[in-house]
Amino acid sequence: MAIKISGTTVIDDSRNIQNIGIITATSFVGSGSGLTGVGIGTTGSIDTSGNITAGVATFRSINIPPVPITFSPAIGATGVNNTSNIIITFNVSVNKGTGNITLRENSAGGTAFSTIAVGDASVTISGGAVTIDPPPIIGSGVTTFVVVDAGAFTGLTTTSVNALINTYSFTAATSLLGTSYQGGFLICCASPIRWVVSPFSSQVSRDWYNRNDANTRAQQVSGCTGWFVPTTSQLQNPGFICRQYWDCYNPGPYWSNDDSGGCATPYVHFEAPAGANNWFKNTTYNVRSFRCVTY
């Protein structure tokens, strides 16, 4: 019968002592070229037949460093959804230590997508499974390296910590134009910039003076920041040119962010032909926000 401690085999069915680093033989009983017994302290605890004779053995410190054994998404996975959680499972139960989890582009030293403190609420632990819920900024078609600082997680003792993890990577799926992306809808991929239009539900009708209400509404709807009212040039291209990738739009005019001075300001009319025109600023037109994601 095997002997286990906390689910780990210490002595197997053949009475072999497993090399798990938790029993230290400090004294040998016997002499000559053969090992006749293993002692803990000065007590012969395991004889030559593998029998434990010491009675009760007390282990004061089990120092097993956390080692990752599985990853999700899998190492080298492709086509990963850009909102997927990252799960790293260790060989032992872990607690939060100190340090960061950094998502980097194309290499362990590449541009950082996001830096997440291990103490953040987006990092949760169940036993040995660590789940990381990153912001949805894993780049379309980009290989992401997950770099975990040494000491970010601890084992049963605060001195047993994980080593640096910097070879785990996977590749995000390439997002198609017109699909839901980064809080809105992807309308253009002008590498390294992804242009995103806010959802139709965030569109507002305002005079030009209140055009920024669209940004506030876009943030409320999407939960993402960084929204802006596009300039005339941006509203024409990619806005008008790529309008088929919007989730919905009105054929009438949209205010731009440009100010031509006086009582007039440019807008783009979404009925052909598209062009910047001037109209009174107190006229009510549609306003829709954009955001850019750079990789």
56 within domain boundaries:
no
Q: Report the relative pairing of strands 180-181 and 253-255 from DSSP bridges.
A: unpaired
- Sequence-separated (6 or more) residues with CB below 8 Å from residue 26: 39, 40, 41
Question: In this predicted structure, which of 104-108, 122-126, 155-159 has the lowest mean pLDDT?
Answer: 155-159
pLDDT tens, residue by residue, 209-266: 999 999 999 999 998 999 999 999 999 999 999 999 999 999 999 999 998 877 888 9
**In which domain, by residue range, is 14 found?**
3-47
Q: Are 156 and 143 in contact (CB under 8 A)?
A: no
Does residue 265 share a domain with residue 195?
yes
Per the prediction, the chain carries an average pLDDT of 83
Do residue 284 and residue 216 come from a single domain?
yes
* Residue 289 located in a structural domain: yes
Count of domains observed in the chain:
3
Residue 62 lies in a domain: no
Q: Is 184 in the same domain as 264?
A: yes
pLDDT digits (tens, 9 = 90+) for 29-83: 333 333 444 444 545 555 555 565 555 555 555 678 999 999 999 999 998 887 7
- Give a yes or no: residue 53 inside a domain: no
Considering the domain architecture, whether residues 186 and 287 belong to the same structural domain is answered as yes
